[in-house]
Amino acid sequence: MSATAAASAENNPGLTALTEEEELFRASVREFAEGEIRPKVEEMEHNSKLDAGIIKQCFELGLMAIESPEEYGGAGSTIFNAIVAIEELARVDASVSVFVDVHNTLVTNAFMRWASDEQKKKYLPQLAEGRVGAYALSEAASGSDAFALTTRAVDKGDHYELTGQKLWITNGNEAEIFILFATVDPAAGYKGITAFIVEKGFEGFTVGKKEDKLGIRASSTTELILDGCKVPKENVLGEVGKGYKVSIETLNEGRIGIGAQMLGIAQGAYEAALKYTTEREQFGQSINNFQAVQFQLAEMAVEIEATRLLVYNAARLKDAGKPFIKEAAIAKLYSSRCAEAVASKAIELFGGYGYVKDYPVEKYWRDSKIGSIYEGTSNMQLQTIAKLIMSGK
């Protein structure tokens, strides 16, 4: 290699290369995930509930305020570090991962981008210190058509009165601060949608049923009921009628977080399969001595590395202030496919043991399925990618 090529390689080590600081951060999150979360995964899965001690530790370790500015009690770090944390947590447990993910990439991100100075001073320290956040957009009739929501906000002079129902709200049981979307004028279509900051204790606000889910079972997914919920005027996030901008721009970053979650699931399933094939013996030798098994492991490794490149690329672009919407959509689409395929292959490599709950890979597969659904289905990602391609962007 020439001196010029060597210098170029050193200056451009690749998207998956981390700085020393990022490596230390990854190591600290992995230590927490392995030491504190892994021993409690089975119990949380069985109880369909996050461990209260784990939630407390997530705050104490700063995992709930990674991007939040230091002046508000956060780490003032990057989305790249946020997705590294999400990836490492999902490698052990996707439920804890999405708990941290939604709080950071959706809730805190929305406050940083759209909140007034007064709102930031009031809420960002709370979100950094111990109050969980949730993001309430979806409704029964507004899934992929997110702006078909019917939750109504009526101006009552010094406050708004919100009436309606939200569904599929991640962190619904644990959250105390909600970014909630309602329309001030149904006739105005998406231009009537407004984002509100709603606290759990507000009059007329109730957390409803928790969904009994296929995967990420310890993560609470709930309905929210608003029965004349009184929200102060100063709790409008952004501008009245501009909630569609809040939701679109926040979800663009959120998709990178989901990509990281799916990457972590794939990595965890792959590592479990690799370990098992080393230990499992058939015909007098470990099954990973057979070329057929080696090829399957190699295919899994290729898919994971491709996913990591896509996810990291989207995060690096976002941190650099460059366009990233298409890359985020690609990362989410590809990562959800990767997680499901790798986890499914891991089950097959485990054989009959992969199909029972005594071993971890069936959970990785169940946890992976949500990746193609929430924060924009795979079809919606394809639509976004196609739209940007066709527009020349």
Residues forming the active site: 375
Q: Which amino acid is at 345?
A: K
Decide: 142 and 182 in contact? Cβ < 8 Å: no
Buried b (16+ CB within 10 A) or exposed e, 244-280: bbbbebbbbbbbbbbbbbbbbbbbbbbebbeebbeeb
Largest separation between any pair of C-alpha atoms in the chain: 79
Per DSSP (E only), the strands in 171-304 are: 175-183, 193-199, 205-210, 221-232, 236-237, 281-282, 285-286
Ramachandran class of 108: left when φ > 0, alpha when ψ lies in -120 to 50, beta otherwise? alpha
> Using CB atoms within 10 A of its CB, is residue 5 exposed (0-12), middle (13-18) or buried (19+)?
exposed
Residue 305: count of CB within 10 angstroms of its CB: 12
Closest residue by Cα to residue 203 from 149, 163, 152: 163
Rounded Cα distance between 87 and 267, Å, is 9
Rounded Cα distance between 102 and 108, Å, is 9
Quick check: helix, strand or coil at residue 172? coil
Alpha-carbon distances, residue 73 vs 8, 64, 65, 108 (angstroms): 38, 10, 8, 12
The residue to which tokens 């485990």 are assigned: 350
Decide: 200 and 183 in contact? Cβ < 8 Å: no
Token pair in block for residue 386:
């196609």
Ramachandran class of 325: left when φ > 0, alpha when ψ lies in -120 to 50, beta otherwise? alpha
Residue 195 φ/ψ, nearest 5 degrees: -95, 135
Alpha-carbon distances, residue 391 vs 321, 326, 379, 384, 388 (angstroms): 21, 12, 18, 11, 5
